[in-house]
Amino acid sequence: MSDRSEHFKRKGEPVLCPFCKAAVPRPGALAPLSAASSDAAGGRCGCGALFLFDASGREGGQLLLDGLARLCEGDLTRALALEGGTDYRIDSVGYNPRGHSAEPIRRGGFGRPKLWFFKLGAS
Ligand SMILES: [Zn+2]
């Protein structure tokens, strides 16, 4: 934990969309997809990518499904039929919600907050 203060002193890097490299806004509250889905925070990039905030860094599976369903306007059947790399791309960026800044994902970075980015299309 000795690197922690160092960590917060550093000026944050802007959070960039991994697909178009544009800076993205701070995640905001999103409407729940269904009664079963949890509250989500995220937003949209100008290129059409969707991003979701994963506060614990441990919600990859659930968030992946949630993100894909949102790309398909809540149509889970369509979301589940999508093929990664062909129908959509997904990427994640380490995120510091205090400073709204990007954090490098280090080895052992499991459990750190992240933003997950989703985009339809292969390129
Ligand atoms: Zn983008």
Q: Is residue 9 part of a domain?
A: no
Q: How many domains does the chain have?
A: 1
* Ligand 1 centroid from CA 2, angstroms: 35
Backbone phi, psi, residue 81, to 5°: -85, -10
Integer Cα distance of 114 and 108 in angstroms: 13
Ion ligand 1, residue ranges at CB < 5 A: 17, 19-20, 45, 47, 49
In a domain, 56, yes or no: yes
pLDDT bracket for residue 70 (50, 70, 90): very high
- pLDDT, tens digit, 9 for 90 and up, residues 71-103: 999 898 999 999 988 999 999 999 999 999 998
Confirm whether 55 is domain-assigned.
Answer: yes
- The domain in which residue 91 lies consists of 49-123
Residue 8 has pLDDT above 60, yes or no: no
How far, in Å, from the CA of 78 to the mean position of ligand 1? Answer: 22
74, part of any domain: yes
Q: Is the pLDDT of residue 67 over 80?
A: yes
DSSP class of residue 99 equals: T
Number of H helices, E strands in the chain: 3, 6
